[in-house]
Chains A and B, each alone.
Chain A
């Protein structure tokens, strides 16, 4: 019998009767998505990986979503893949604006390492216990979290040797649009 998303949810509810799983509602939510409380994510993931009926041996990716102005503001999405049963599963964790922290799943799937670093890099979501939570795609001295919705697009000085701070000033109307203080580095 093929593993269905409903069966995955049922297995999880059987194994974790105390965890309030919640299915994401919506006609256009195309994948069966379950909300998991942040503090239980590692337990749930370990079970999903190790249970022979589920065998989600691979983590396809992890990513963040900023739902500003909705509260709780952040969501971390986990896309799991079971090669054995040819099935995908989606887990989500809700995180508040004040303390966007969730335990890392690098212990369950080592591949989560870079995905979580990327999510931290873009959203400032802290993955507790992560072995190397540093900037991955952005420069090490970058300030701010670019994919947050309150971080505007563009109007960033590109740092080249010919536009060191003393030599070039952005137009005044552009500085107004860019509230972020950005350190310009001369190479």
Chain B
């Protein structure tokens, strides 16, 4: 029997369609069909300046806008050959780690809801809401942040933000314990996730899986450790790794990542405090980076730079660069080909969900239909990013 699942199915986390060929209750063949949310972001980017593409990235993986902004900015910075000041990097680390916590909270809540544990959803969304209000205070938007810029940040962090983040970081370990109390030893949860949808380390690598999906299969690979950016090498954190590669291991890896992200965020707050509650937040290289607004109001030269960069965009050298970050879903990379004009000749997005979803047939073929929901949930996909 051929069964069509989606694109409008609540457990497919968006508009994923899976065509399942069944023999009784066993899945013989599965084919994911994607593209329902395709908006041609890569094409549109060729008609926009680098900075104008930043709001587009918020709409890719809409659960982790800051990570997407960061990936684009770092790729453009690599292309141009500049680096943001240390204080801006620490703020980036703080916000992307909070993003990871909120993205994992959404994942955990919805994944548990799919499997039937409804309570977790409310707990997780409570914490996610706190992160979203922090975004709101930082940049005025709850979900579409567009806060990072090439060379730094769009503005300095507001007063009182660090205290608020500190409070969140202090509370979060307790909340993570709450989630674990509800799930980690829950017999129903264990029955639904243990030995379900396993992915061997060999398959994970061959299929290009990254992020918690790869780490759940027992491979310790985290770009923050392996190829550090934003001075991640100066932070103390562990990379949680699974063993069996089943849905439960992926769950455990993500829950541990929430704890590790909380640790990193705490260290980032410390670093920002050491460098000053207010201070440098953007590189002072006015060929590529807009001068601070305060200067624009007082200095003629700054005003001219501001006008040139806002009206035309900056002119990167002719060349190309690829930079990847460890987004909550895995390796998120941007590849730019520049022809020396303010608009990229080509922007390619290496979206982690797109690649991770490819493992779905391996996960579910030969298994029960009921496990398909668990498998999709445990991959943590966002269709906005898959379809771009």
Q: Is the CB of A30 within 8 A of B319?
A: yes
Check: B355 CB closer than 8 A to any chain A CB.
yes
* Chain A, residue nearest B220 (CB): A83
Q: Report chain A residues within 8 Å CB of B207.
A: 110-111
A30 to B323, CA, bound (A): 10
CB distance from A30 to the nearest CB of B (A): 4
Within 8 A of A (CB), among B20-69: 34-35, 38, 40, 42-44, 46-47
Across the interface, A137 reaches (CB within 8 A) one of B38, B79, B205, B208, namely: B38
CB distance from A64 to the nearest CB of B (A): 8
Q: Is the CB of A65 within 8 A of B337?
A: yes
A77-B358 contact in complex given A28-B319, A30-B319, C-beta closer than 8 Å:
no
Check: A1 CB closer than 8 A to any chain B CB.
no
Q: Is the CB of A61 within 8 A of B79?
A: no
Check: B346 CB closer than 8 A to any chain A CB.
yes
Q: Write the B312-342 contact mask toward A (1 if CB under 8 angstroms, else 0).
A: 0000111111101000000101010110000
Check: B206 CB closer than 8 A to any chain A CB.
yes
What total of chain A residues lie within 8 Å of the partner, measured CB to CB? Answer: 37
Q: Report chain B residues within 8 Å CB of A77.
A: 335, 348
Q: Report chain A residues within 8 Å CB of B346.
A: 65-66
Across the interface, B388 reaches (CB within 8 A) one of A59, A61, A137, namely: A137
A137-B335 contact in complex given A28-B320, A30-B320, A147-B43, C-beta closer than 8 Å:
no
A157 to B16, CA, bound (A): 24
Q: Is the CB of A83 within 8 A of B320?
A: no
A114 to B322, CA, bound (A): 20
Check: B279 CB closer than 8 A to any chain A CB.
no
Q: Is the CB of A60 within 8 A of B333?
A: yes
Sample of 20 more A-B contacts, CB < 8 Å, known A137-B387, A137-B388: A26-B319, A28-B318, A28-B321, A29-B320, A30-B319, A30-B320, A58-B206, A60-B331, A60-B350, A61-B333, A61-B335, A65-B345, A77-B335, A83-B221, A90-B322, A110-B207, A111-B358, A114-B358, A137-B35, A146-B40
Name A residues whose Cβ lies closer than 8 Å to a Cβ of B: 26-31, 33, 57-61, 63, 65-67, 77, 79, 83, 86, 88, 90, 109-111, 113-115, 122, 135-139, 146-147, 153
> What are some 6 contacts across the A-B interface (CB < 8 A)?
A58-B208, A60-B350, A61-B348, A83-B205, A109-B206, A153-B43
Which 9 A-B pairs have CB atoms at the shortest separation, nearest pair first? A28-B319, A111-B208, A28-B317, A30-B321, A137-B35, A63-B348, A61-B350, A137-B38, A29-B319
